[in-house]
Amino acid sequence: MTEQEWYAQGLRFACTQCGNCCTGPEGAVWFSEEEGQAMAKSVGLEHETFLRRYARKLKRGWSLKEHKTEHGFDCVFLDRETMPGKAICSLYDARPQQCRTWPFWKENLETPQAWESVKKATPCPGMGKGSLVSIESIRIQRDALP
Ligand code: SF4
């Protein structure tokens, strides 16, 4: 029998569009070849041009570039201009799995303490708020990344 996850009753989450998960210390926004192609298409660029302009090749794979702002290292596609007081993803519909599945990453879900600590460290005001995300939906998001 498989052990029940500590979040078997679901977890609350509602993004407030603060952008905190898209900035902070230097990091990586990993994406696959297919995701790179989808993002390139969404901004109307050839795949190669998109990679040259917006991505960097790291040991583990391709990551979106970041740029230093007063908030930290913002993802190159984080838009703080369009909606005053909000920070939105300018390629939301084509964003990679890493972004789609936040905050339901394996490491964040390991223990209630891990969940609480990432909620404070990011900080992500959406975690623990809003509507209940079901265990089925959490599992799909949790297992979407390698
Ligand atoms: S930190 Fe949380 S609330 Fe803020 S943009 Fe990211 S997911 Fe949304």
In tens, the pLDDT along 127-139 reads 999 999 999 999 9
Domain co-membership, 35 together with 80: yes
Specify whether 74 is located in the same domain as 118: no
Q: Both 63 and 80 in a single domain?
A: yes
Instruction: Report which protein residue has its CA nearest ligand 1's atom 7.
Output: 15
- Comparing C-alpha atoms, which of 125, 28, 136 is closest to residue 75? 28
Asked if 29 and 89 sit in the same domain, the reply is yes
Percentage helix, strand, coil for the chain under 3-state DSSP, each rounded to 5:
35, 20, 45
- State whether the beta carbon of 75 lies less than 6 angstroms from ligand 1: no
Q: Which structural domain range is residue 121 located in?
A: 1-16+95-146
- Helices (H), ranges, the chain: 33-42, 47-54, 97-100, 106-109, 112-121, 135-142
Angstrom distances, CA of residue 23 to CA of 87, 123, 135: 10, 10, 28
> What does the alpha-carbon distance between residue 18 and residue 132 come to, in Å, rounded to a whole number?
20
Task: Return the SS3 of 74.
Answer: strand
| Token couple for 100 | 């789609």
Q: Is the CB of 20 under 6 A from ligand 1?
A: yes
pTM of this prediction exceeds 0.85: yes
Does ligand 1 come within 6 angstroms of the Cβ of 88? no
How many structural domains does the chain have? 2
Same domain for 81 and 112, yes or no, is no
15 lines ligand 1 (CB under 6 A): yes
The answer to whether residues 84 and 101 belong to one domain is no
Residue 5 and residue 38 share a domain: no
Mean pLDDT, all residues of the chain: 97
Same domain membership, residue 87 and residue 37: yes
Identify the sign of the CA torsion 117, 118, 121, 126.
Answer: negative
- Among the atoms of ligand 1, which is closest to the Cα of residue 122? 1
Nearest protein Cα to ligand 1, atom 4: 18
d(CA 25, CA 74): 9
- The pLDDT value given to residue 146: 83
**What ligand 1 atom has the least distance to the C-alpha of 127?**
2
> For residue range 5-49, what is the model confidence (pLDDT) as tens digits?
999 999 999 999 999 999 999 999 999 999 999 999 999 999 999
